[in-house]
Structure 1
C-alpha cells in the first residue's frame, strides 16, 4: 500500500469500545465519515445500536455489538463476529471507561475492582484477544486521560487505572512493534461528555473541549505512514485546568 493510502481510512475496519455515547460515539462518527467501517461496541447494546443507526443513516458503514470488556468470552465472540461481518480487523480503540468519585475511606472494594477491570483489564483483554484478528500493520489505541499524568482527590481508582493503562500502552508498543503492530495512547483532557457532566453538573463547559476534537486526533494517529507510529499524544482544551 502506498504511503498516501494511509492518509484516509477508506475500507479499514475499526472496533471502538464504549462506542455508545460521549467520546466513543464521537470516535465512531468521525472515523466513519473518513471511510472506516466501524464496529460500535458497548455494554449497552441499545446505545451502540443508536450510534450505528445514525452512521448508517448518513451513508456510512457500522455494526453495533453488545460487549462487556470484562467478559473474555463476549470479547472473543464479538471479534469473531466482526471478522465474519467485515472480513478483517485493522484497528482497536479501547475507549470504554468508568469512574467512582469518592474518597478512599468511602470506596467500596467492589467498586475499586470494577473501575480497574473496566479501565485497565478491559483494554488488556481486548488487545490480547484482538491481536490474532488484527491485520498486518494493525493498530491498538488506548484512551488515557490527564489522570495518567497527575492526580486530584477522590479519584484513586480512576488514577490507578489510567496510570496503569498508560504503562500498558508503552509496554505493548515496545513488545509489538517488531511484529508491525502499532500501539498508541491518546491522553484526552476534559471534554463535554456525559462522563464528566453527569458527575460534575456544575463544571464550566467553557473549560472543556468538544469530544470531536479528540476523535480527530485519533484519526490523525491512525493515518500515519507504516514507518511511523505515535506512541503517545495529548489533546487538551485551551483552558484545561487539570494540566499545567
Structure 2
C-alpha cells in the first residue's frame, strides 16, 4: 500500500527573533507583546506612553524569567526621524529586526462637517503614514538579513463603511492597499507582508469612546494576538498575505 509522504515544509522557529510592536503599551499591542514573548521572541514595546510601555516590558520579563525578553522604547509613528531612531536602538540592542507589527492606530469619531483638518491629518498620520515610515525604516534591514515579516493591523473599516469615521476609513482602506503593494515588493527579498483585518475587540480603542458598547459582540484581543503568532509560524515558502479575524457576534462585517 502506498503511503503518503509528509510535505517538506520548514516551520520557522520563533525563539530569539526580534519583533517591534507599535502601539505596544496597551490593547491589542500589549496582548501581542505578551503572546510573542511567550513564544520566545524578543519584543520591543514601542509606544509614546513610556510609563505604560515600561510597565509592560517589566511584566513580560517577570513572567518569562528572562532578561532582555522585552524592552520599552519611545516611538512617535508619525515621525520618520523617530522611526529611524527606534531602528538604531533596536539594532544596537539586538543586532537585527525580524518582525514588525504595525499596530498603532487612532480614530476620531466626528462627521465630515465637524472633523477638522488637523484631526484628519492626525488620523492619517498615525494609521497610514506611520506604517509607511516604519516599513520604510525596517525594509532595508530585513532585506540585508535575508527576510522578515511585516504585519499591518487593518480593520473591517477597510471593507465597508459607517458614519462619522471618514478619516479612519480612508486610513484603513489606504493601509490595505499599501500592504498589498508592499507584499509585492517584499516577495523577491523573502520579506513577508500580511494585512490582518481585525474585527471589534475589547480594547480601550473602542471601550474608551463607546462605554455603552455591547462587549459580547467583541473579541478578546488575546485571540487576535494568537492569530498574529500563527501568521509568523507559516512555512518558509508560504505567506498569508491577507487574513480576517472576527468575533463570532461581529456587527461590522459582513
TM-score (norm 2): 0.93
Q: Which residue of 1 aligns with 2:200?
A: 190
Q: Which residue of 2 aligns with 1:44?
A: 49
- Greater than 6 Å deviation, 4+ residue runs: none
1:118 aligns with 2:123: no
Q: Is this contact kept in 2: 1:186–1:233, CA < 8 A?
A: yes
Partners of 1:50 and 1:153 lie apart in 2 by: 36
1:157 aligns with 2:162: no
Distance 1:225 1:5, change over 3 A: closer
1:174 aligns with 2:184: yes
Q: Which residue of 2 aligns with 1:209?
A: 219
1:218 aligns with 2:228: yes
RMSD: 1.1
Structure 1 counterpart SS, 2:154: strand
Q: Is this contact kept in 2: 1:67–1:75, CA < 8 A?
A: yes
Structure 2 counterpart SS, 1:238: coil
Q: Give deviations 1:62-107, integer Å, cap 9, x for gaps.
A: 0100000011111111111101111211010000000000100000
Structure 2 counterpart SS, 1:39: strand
Q: Is this contact kept in 1: 2:10–2:236, CA < 8 A?
A: no
Partners of 1:54 and 1:133 lie apart in 2 by: 29
Match of 2:93 among 65, 68, 85: 85
Q: Give deviations 1:105-157, integer Å, cap 9, x for gaps.
A: 00010000000000000000000011122232201110000000000000000
Q: Is this contact kept in 2: 1:208–1:240, CA < 8 A?
A: yes
Match of 2:242 among 226, 232, 236: 232
Q: Is this contact kept in 1: 2:11–2:234, CA < 8 A?
A: no
Distance 1:5 1:228, change over 3 A: closer
Q: Which residue of 2 aligns with 1:241?
A: 251
Partners of 2:209 and 2:140 lie apart in 1 by: 37
Q: Is this contact kept in 2: 1:16–1:95, CA < 8 A?
A: yes
TM-score (norm 1): 0.97
Higher Cα radius of gyration: 2
Partners of 1:93 and 1:37 lie apart in 2 by: 13
Question: Structure 2 matches for 1:123-142, cutoff 5 A?
Answer: 123-134=131-142, 135-142=145-152
5+ residue gaps, structure 1, are: none
1:44 Cα deviation from its structure 2 partner: 1.1
Structure 2 counterpart SS, 1:229: coil
Deviation larger for 22-31 or 81-90: 81-90
Partners of 1:75 and 1:136 lie apart in 2 by: 21
1:4 Cα deviation from its structure 2 partner: 4.4
Structure 2 counterpart SS, 1:89: coil
